[in-house]
Copies of this chain bind each other. A is one copy, B any other.
Amino acid sequence: MEASVPSSAGRQSGSVSSTRAPAAGAVPEPTSSANVTRPANNRFAWAATTMPSPWLPPTGLVSVSPGPRSARPTPDRGHSSKYGAEIEVGVQCSACESPAVTHLDYAGRDLCADHFQRLVESRFKKQLREQLEALGAGEGARIAVGLSGGKDSSTLTALLVDALGPDPRFEIVPISVDEGIPGYRGPALSSAEELADQLDLDLRVVSHEDDHGWTTDEVAQTETEGKPCGTCGVFRRSSLNQAARDEDCDVLAVGHNLDDCAETTLMNLLRSDLEQVLRTGPHEQAPEGLIPRVKPLRSCTEREVALYGVIEELPYHGAECPHAAEATRRTYRSLLLDLVDHEPSARHRLLSLEDKLKDRLDAGEADETELEPCPECGEPSAGGECRACQLAAELEAAHADA
């Protein structure tokens, strides 16, 4: 079996649709505007004028006619964000004559909405094709997608449908996990349902309460030390895997972007934990019972994933979890941002390093573990009760003592 990702595709159905220019293999080289397929009425005007978003500049881009680049002074890039300079009015796309909507620090290029989208789509498809091929997931493959309703998973799901939806050899199964944080997960689940509806997909919702007997809000009240994030992560991974297996899926796609992946690699390397570098997805194989994970957004930065979703008007919920992230993760994220400040391509280099390490260290070695079904829940476990059931039992005990 060999995966074949269609090279051009439209949305399966729903209200989100677009005219796509052919995907480019990399950051497109400058080209005459005659070669670029663009709608007559710039469909991205709204992005600059109607939606106040941290991902886009606040001023109208479309009304400005900058004239030839050589005749203009170097534009002031305006204030700089952690992820690179914001674009200023009047900057032209490096690949055509349209106004740019983003500046790629690490590539030294400005891109208009069309060329930016083509870039994201081409990177997404390259990763997806390579990862599905490595897993031998081709004809008849059912692909589960973790769809939380946040920016990453919404962009992931839309791009998956775009790339694979029209291909009858693939089926896409979105899964949402309700952790039980009502004020936060409620609106996100609504976004997930709205997107699934637009894309004509059936959303399956599973919950920590059903699978593990505890909502994350309850865990937060019971945990005596620190945040509930550790337990929540274990429960969520277990629920996602269980749901994907129940749905007979061959692959589980998750929305990790380049920043997430680079942060994880940095953390594992600075902990001197090579085994964990190898164990982290995308997987080329997985022990019996574990659905192998693919991460097709791993070469797109967090900012690129979010900007893509904004341009495509994808419904998503942007709030941060009220329980906030683990302190450890924050430390490594802050180190990663320092690195990017010094060297804009630091995240890309960490990704390339991860690939080289997996390539040369024989990723197979790390996956020799034989897993057995947990006697409590049936999820794969290294022996005896799985971690999720252990944590649930500890919570029961702590609750009984209180």
Contacts and interface: CB of A to CB of B under 8 A. Distances in A.
Interface of A: 269-272, 274, 331, 335, 338-339, 342-343, 346, 349-350, 352-353, 356-357, 360-361
A271 B361 contact: no
A357 B270 contact: no
Nearest to A362: B360
A339 B270 contact: yes
A247 to B, nearest CB: 37
A272 B335 contact: no
A270 B361 contact: no
A360 B361 CA distance: 7
B272 A356 contact: yes
A331 B335 contact: no
Contacts of A353: 269-270, 272, 274
B346 A270 contact: yes
8 shortest interchain CB distances as A-B pairs: A272-B349, A272-B353, A272-B352, A331-B342, A274-B356, A360-B361, A270-B349, A270-B346
Contact of A269 (B269, B271, B335, B342): B269
A342 B350 contact: no
Contacts of A349: 270-272
Contacts of A350: 270, 272
Contacts of A352: 272
A402 B352 CA distance: 43
Given A331-B342, A335-B342, A342-B331, A360 B272 contact: no
Contacts of A342: 331, 335
Given A335-B339, A338-B335, A357 B274 contact: yes
Interface SS majority for chain A? helix
Contact of A360 (B269, B274, B335, B339): B274
A122 to B, nearest CB: 21
Contacts of A270: 339, 343, 346, 349-350, 353
12 contacts: A269-B269, A270-B339, A270-B343, A270-B349, A272-B350, A272-B353, A331-B343, A335-B335, A335-B338, A335-B339, A335-B342, A360-B361
Given A269-B353, A335-B338, A338-B338, 19 more contacts: A269-B269, A270-B339, A270-B343, A270-B349, A270-B350, A271-B349, A272-B349, A272-B350, A272-B352, A272-B353, A272-B356, A274-B353, A274-B360, A331-B342, A331-B343, A335-B335, A335-B339, A335-B342, A360-B361
A274 B361 CA distance: 12
Contacts of A271: 349
A314 to B, nearest CB: 32
Which of A272, A342, A346, A361 has the most chain B CB within a 10 Å cutoff?
A272
Nearest to A348: B272
A256 to B, nearest CB: 19
A279 to B, nearest CB: 15
Contacts of A338: 335, 338
Nearest to A352: B272
A360 B363 CA distance: 12
Contacts of A357: 274
Nearest to A271: B349
A272 B269 CA distance: 12
Nearest to A343: B270
A339 B331 CA distance: 9
Contacts of A269: 269, 353
A343 B343 CA distance: 22
Nearest to A353: B272
A16 B198 CA distance: 81
